[in-house]
Amino acid sequence: MAKGFSNLVSPQGMAMIGVALFLDAFGIICTLIGLLSAGAGEVLSFIPDGIGILFFAVLLSFRGQGKPKEVVVETKEKIKMRKKVMGTIRKGLRGHWGKFGLAALGELAPFLGALPFWTIFAISELKNED
């Protein structure tokens, strides 16, 4: 079984994707209500957005805490290169929290919340998990 696929069908993966699909479906329904009722659905859409932000923030905080840390011996050149690379990474929106932030902002934006940001985030998290 492919490495990324086994994470998708794991119990944690199924829970993440299930919650993400539910929240995205609720967001689509709220957007449709908003289009039909002069924006009332957009107010309602903050409910699944808040639930999603809370759920995935807590999940990201606890993921990977049980994994053993690798002991790596580095030379001075590797340390210097790592510091340079880490500085570059910090400038961009990379990593778990960067993807989470983009998904949360996308969900909070009016009418963009109809797009499946939580589902895309959950799948990308599970596929990139080590």
pLDDT of residue 18: 92
Check whether 121 has a pLDDT greater than 70: yes
pLDDT of residue 35: 82
Average pLDDT of the residues in 34-50: 81
The pTM of this model reads 0.66
pLDDT of residue 20: 92
Name which of 125, 123, 105, 101 is nearest 113 in CA terms: 105
Cα–Cα distance for residue pair 4/124, rounded to 1 Å: 9
Cα dist from 61 to 39, 56, 57, 75, 120, whole Å: 34, 8, 6, 31, 19
How far from chain centre, in Å, is Cα 2?
21
pLDDT of residue 94: 59
Whether 124 and 102 have beta carbons less than 8 Å apart is answered as no
Give the pLDDT confidence of 64-111 residue by residue, as tens digits: 655 555 555 667 776 777 676 666 655 555 567 778 888 888 888 877
Give the pLDDT confidence of 4-29 residue by residue, as tens digits: 567 778 888 888 899 999 999 988 88
CB atoms within 10 A of CB 53: 19
Number of domains in the chain: 1
Cα–Cα distance for residue pair 49/55, rounded to 1 Å: 10
Q: Which domain holds residue 7?
A: 3-65+73-127
